[in-house]
């Protein structure tokens, strides 16, 4: 049977890249929207409701009552509420007791570029409760530094930060973006990944990779959700090969973003900056790339 996944994203229609892309890749997805908004918050206005921790618990209880709470994966993204986040941890721990092989993928959304954009009281919850139960995490550089208390100035620093994150719990860490200089020039940014494996004899080995990613001069909403969903899917298909999983994931991102930016510029016209509606991720149009991406982003193994 296909892998079964419960996803608790900040589902911000219509530009949410996570659930649809996982469906396409053969996962049975139960989505629980942590918000139900008219549109994502990249627009000037939005209306809707925010799911509370109690409401999340009620939904989970309904799933349990029908005995359909048997999951292979849990994926979570943005939230602004500590009680909601703590409820997620309780649910993940219960699901892991039922299935010790369950993989929890967490995008620890805290902030970027040196500042937090969630309430500060979420930070200790992520550090002390969420990250320790996560198996795969996808922080950016700021979030990785915040969670470990260590700054990243060099690739060596980044490796040490990823090792510190491993020590906190997760076996797979991908720093989705960093300020490190790219070997390909200033039109690229550097992402890094690290994956721990346990050999049959019980010893550990770690694969680390570096990815050079082309920069795009536009602001998209939903790319973090899409990235975490793609990494979940491709690490499922390549559980012991982070290099290939990252190449697939970053290549999907490249194709979706390039298709989106090309479409947005065509709509906006020459010399005009695309608007939020024009920058909605072109997910449906990218179905073939999501299913079988041409590899355009190669990962380099860090010795």
How far apart are alpha carbons 2 and 26 in whole angstroms?
A: 6
C-alpha distances in Å from residue 32, one per residue of 53, 63, 122, 271: 12, 11, 20, 40
Two structure tokens written together for 21: 């892309």
Sheet holding 204-214, edge to edge: 28-31, 4-8, 73-76, 103-106, 136-137, 172-178, 188-198, 204-214, 299-301
Token pair listed for 110: 């805290």
R_g over Cα of the chain = 19
- Which phi and psi (to 5°) does residue 301 adopt? -75, 130
Burial class of 30 by CB neighbour count within 10 A (0 to 12, 13 to 18, 19+): middle
Kindly list the catalytic residues: 225
Copy the structure tokens of residue 242: 């982070």
Residues 192 and 157: their CA atoms lie apart, in Å, by: 11
């Amino acid at each position: 049977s296909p892998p079964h996944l419960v996803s608790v994203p900040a589902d911000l229609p219509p530009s949410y890249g996570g659930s649809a892309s996982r469906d396409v890749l053969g996962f049975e997805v139960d989505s629980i929207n942590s918000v139900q908004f008219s549109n994502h918050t990249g627009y000037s206005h939005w209306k809707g409701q925010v799911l509370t921790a109690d409401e999340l618990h009620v939904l989970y209880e309904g799933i349990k009552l029908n005995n359909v709470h048997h999951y292979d994966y849990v994926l979570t993204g943005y939230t602004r509420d500590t009680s909601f986040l703590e409820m997620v941890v309780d649910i993940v721990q219960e699901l892991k007791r039922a299935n010790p092989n369950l993989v929890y993928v967490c995008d620890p959304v805290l902030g970027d570029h040196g500042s937090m954009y969630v309430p500060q009281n979420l930070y200790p919850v992520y550090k002390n409760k969420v990250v320790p139960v996560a198996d795969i995490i996808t922080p950016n550089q700021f979030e990785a530094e915040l969670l470990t208390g260590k700054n990243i100035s060099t690739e060596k620093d980044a490796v040490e930060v990823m090792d510190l994150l491993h020590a906190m719990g997760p076996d797979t860490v991908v720093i989705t973006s960093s300020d490190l200089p790219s070997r390909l020039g200033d039109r690229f940014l550097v992402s890094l990944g690290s994956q721990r494996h346990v050999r049959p004899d019980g010893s550990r080995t770690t694969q680390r990779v570096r990815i050079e990613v082309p920069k795009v001069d536009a602001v998209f909403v939903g790319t973090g959700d899409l990235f975490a969903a793609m990494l979940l899917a491709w690490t499922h298909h390549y559980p012991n090969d982070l290099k290939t999983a990252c190449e697939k994931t970053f290549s999907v991102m490249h194709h979706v973003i390039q298709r989106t930016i090309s479409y947005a510029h065509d709509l906006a016209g020459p010399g005009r900056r695309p608007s939020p509606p024009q920058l909605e991720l072109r997910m449906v149009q990218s179905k073939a790339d999501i299913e079988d991406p041409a590899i355009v982003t190669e990962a380099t193994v860090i010795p």
